[in-house]
Amino acid sequence: MNSSISISSVLRALAGALTAAALLAVVLEITLRVLPTVNGVHRESPHTSGVASARLIANHDFTWSLGWDMRHVIKARTNAMGFISPYDYSAGATAVALLGDSFVEAQMHTYDESLAGRLDARLGSMRAFNFGISGAALPHYLGMAREMGARYRFDAAVVVVTGMDYEEGFEAKEGLYRWAADPQRELISLVPAVERSSVVAVVRELALVRYVRANLKLTAGKVFARHDETPCEPRRLSAVDLRRLAEYVEQLPAAMHLQPQRVVMVFNSGSNADLYERVDRGRARRPACETRDSLALAELRRLAAASGMKVIELDELLEPHYREYRRALDFKPVDSHWNGTATALVAAKIVGMLAPLPTHAAAPAP
């Protein structure tokens, strides 16, 4: 570009650039619509469904794929409640409630390889009702326990707790329960969903947008994030944190009308990357750093065990398996969720802890 270039030339060049970009965007949109881009996993609007807490669109086919090259394609369907399950939940069924976030929701698995599917296969006639929803945290698990405990009769419950579940519980995510400010008055509160305009709804359906948000897992914050090591800032749990956790442990089984002994808490608080490093190199990937979240989850684990709940520390389960076989337990590096090997190990451990299964577990399937 010569420094004496005219304004009109610049404007024409700009018009050319925008035209090219628009045409390429259209070509890419068409191409992505043909390819198995993530599709159909939008949340149900509470304004049309009448359900305030977050669900996927009910009775809806969806496609899930991993990363920029769309590997590991899954095609599945939600049930009538908007959870990922091949069957509708029946009030008369004997069931295990499965609470958690995306690890439980399991968009990335065929049903047979998901935790719910693995449990279904091992529980005989008893059913695993999957209430997992992506982005959820501890308060939402309690919220779902209340909602579903009022609706179904559970024989047991499994709650999968992942790292940052305490801290993320303070975030306001629409349709999800969060920690209420004063745990003495109310432990959790539901963040109402916002009704989206038709323009936003159309934009969210664009294959390009779905590809960037779901396949590439990008947000504006992530695109411009710096990848510096954050210094460890040790934290302590406040009296309010401790009260909140104690209330939580008391309310969770009660919300589902269960004895604490019939609740299995699965703590997935470490990362598999740390586990691999520890086993392969014999050293920690990074120095231990006690954050409010890690302290809270440790306290929750202690309180849960003390109340009689069964506790599974996932690292203790996965590490011996990895040490022996050295096979990946997740979809790293693209996705850190459990793969089918890990769900099988977790399911086997849960069923072992729930045994002996109640006699009515052999009742006919709903």
Partner 1 sequence: MLFNSAIFVFLYLPIVWIGYLLALRLPWARAGIAWLGVASIFFYGYWNPAFVPLLVVSILFNYGVGRLLDPQVWNASPRARKGVLAAAVALNLAALGYYKYAGMLVSSFGALTGIATPVVDVLLPIGISFYTFTQIAYLVDAWAERRPEKSFTAYVLFVTFFPHLIAGPVLHHAEMMPQFLRGDRALRYALALEGLLFFACGLAKKVLIADSVAPAANRAFTLAESMPIGFVDSWFGSLAYTVQIYFDFSGYSDMAIGLALLFGIRLPLNFNSPYQSRSIVEFWRCWHMTLSRFLRDYLYIPLGGSRHGPARRQVNLMLTMLLGGLWHGAAWTFVVWGGLHGLYLQVNHAWRHLVEKSPPLQRLLARHARPAAFVAWALTFLAVVVAWVFFRAESFGGSANLLAGMFAGTASVDAQLADLHTEVYIAVGLLVAFLAPNSQQLLTGAGEKLVSRFTAPRPFLQGVHAGSLLFVITALVLISVSWGTNEFIYFNF
Return residues touching partner 1 (CB under 8 A): 1-4, 8-10, 12-21, 24-25, 28, 67-69, 71, 212, 215-218, 222-224, 226-227, 276-277, 279-282, 325-328, 332-334
In the bound complex, what is the minimum distance in angstroms from residue 219's beta carbon to partner 1?
Answer: 10
Question: Do residues 342 and 327 lie in contact, with contact meaning Cβ atoms separated by under 8 Å?
Answer: no
Of 10 and 365, the one with the shorter C-beta distance to partner 1 is 10
Of 28 and 240, the one with the shorter C-beta distance to partner 1 is 28
In the bound complex, what is the minimum distance in angstroms from residue 233's beta carbon to partner 1?
Answer: 20
Question: Do residues 332 and 67 lie in contact, with contact meaning Cβ atoms separated by under 8 Å?
Answer: no
Burial label, 274 (beta-carbon count in 10 A; 0-12, 13-18, 19+): middle
Of 24 and 181, the one with the shorter C-beta distance to partner 1 is 24
Tell me the DSSP string of 135-156.
T--HHHHHHHHHHHHTT--EEE
- Tokens 């069964």 label which residue? 310
Sheet holding 263-268, edge to edge: 127-130, 95-99, 154-162, 263-268, 310-313
Question: Do residues 300 and 309 lie in contact, with contact meaning Cβ atoms separated by under 8 Å?
Answer: no
In the bound complex, what is the minimum distance in angstroms from residue 21's beta carbon to partner 1?
Answer: 5
In the bound complex, what is the minimum distance in angstroms from residue 196's beta carbon to partner 1?
Answer: 24
In the bound complex, what is the minimum distance in angstroms from residue 11's beta carbon to partner 1?
Answer: 8
In the bound complex, what is the minimum distance in angstroms from residue 271's beta carbon to partner 1?
Answer: 14
Instruction: State how beta strands 188-190 and 263-268 pair.
Output: unpaired
Of 73 and 306, the one with the shorter C-beta distance to partner 1 is 73
Query: What does the alpha-carbon distance between residue 46 and residue 246 come to, in Å, rounded to a whole number?
Result: 31
Q: What is the token pair recorded at 330?
A: 């997740």
Q: Give the closest residue to 292 by CA, choosing from 228, 238, 230, 243.
A: 238
- Tokens 């990895």 label which residue? 322
**Positive or negative: CA dihedral 249, 251, 253, 256:** negative
Q: List phi, psi (to 5°) of 64.
A: -130, 140
**Angle at the Cα of 159 from the Cα atoms of 132 and 150, rounded to 5 degrees:** 75
Of 8 and 359, the one with the shorter C-beta distance to partner 1 is 8
In the bound complex, what is the minimum distance in angstroms from residue 280's beta carbon to partner 1?
Answer: 5
In the bound complex, what is the minimum distance in angstroms from residue 217's beta carbon to partner 1?
Answer: 6
Of 58 and 208, the one with the shorter C-beta distance to partner 1 is 208
Indicate the residue type of 249: V
Of 185 and 281, the one with the shorter C-beta distance to partner 1 is 281
In the bound complex, what is the minimum distance in angstroms from residue 296's beta carbon to partner 1?
Answer: 27
| Residues linked to residue 98 through DSSP beta bridges, in sequence order | 130, 158
Of 236 and 283, the one with the shorter C-beta distance to partner 1 is 283
Query: What does the alpha-carbon distance between residue 326 and residue 280 come to, in Å, rounded to a whole number?
Result: 9
Of 89 and 276, the one with the shorter C-beta distance to partner 1 is 276
